[in-house]
Amino acid sequence: MIEVFFILAIVLFLAAMPVFITEAKKLGLINSLGYFAALVFSIPLNLKLLKGSLSFFNFFYLDPLSGFFILLISMISFASSLYSAGYIQTDLKDLSISARDSRLYYTLFNLFTFSMFFAVIANNMGIVWVSIEMTTLVSAFLVGFYKKEESIEAAWKYLIICSVGITLALLGLILFYYTTSINGGTRSLNWTDMVALAPKLDPKILK
């Protein structure tokens, strides 16, 4: 389980780096090294999860599927960080963005990744919903990053589309909670509790 905390700590550290480091080239290098470290930590974590699930105070819960997603997010984030380093550097040379914009990009990039990691390790479905909503909000700023008319329009469209999906997800969450409390006899949004009560839940509401 310690590998998960290292991964989360690395990403939060990377998100805070633009406050202390202003040079985009250094930020790109640190970002890539950080995600390489996250990728390295995700490998032994997956090996542990092959032997069984892991839990921390019933707040974090990881099973082999969680491990797979952590590995996948780590791989894609590492590849994206490598690409971002050169991409942001080119935009700075072309004066498409300012140095301040480059620092903002790395903060948003890492907050987005952090929310993705958090979504796949949280046991509570409410926290999972909040994490996914956070990915929507942060990525909307990334879509509109260049502050041009087209990118701002795209960001608004993206927000509207994602908001419809997240609203339907919230409705599903409310129905889950309703049948868990009425038919299961417990007021819990923890995934592990709901799975244990699955035979008692109303199949019509779940459908």
- Gap between the Cα atoms of 3 and 10, Å rounded: 11
The DSSP result for 151-174, as a single string, is: HHHHHHHHHHHHHHHHHHHHHHHH
pTM for the structure as a whole: 0.90
- Gap between the Cα atoms of 86 and 29, Å rounded: 10
The tokens for 125 are 């479905």
If you average pLDDT over residues 10-25, what whole number do you get? 93
Strand, coil or helix: what is 147? coil
* Tens digits of residue pLDDT in 167-190: 999 999 999 899 988 888 888 889
User: Residue 206: pLDDT above 90?
Assistant: no
* Tens digits of residue pLDDT in 83-138: 999 999 999 998 888 899 999 999 999 999 999 999 999 999 999 999 999 999 99
Q: What is the separation of C-alpha 98 from the centre of its chain, rounded to a whole number of angstroms?
A: 26
CA-closest candidate to residue 59, choices 192, 203, 198? 192
- Gap between the Cα atoms of 57 and 107, Å rounded: 29
Burial 75-85 (b: 16+ CB within 10 A, else e): eebbebbeebb
- Gap between the Cα atoms of 114 and 111, Å rounded: 5
Quick one: CA torsion of 48, 192, 58, 35, rounded to 10 degrees?
Answer: 50
The tokens for 163 are 């908001």
pLDDT at 188: 83
- Average pLDDT of the chain, as a whole number: 92
Place 58 in a pLDDT band, splitting at 50, 70 and 90. confident
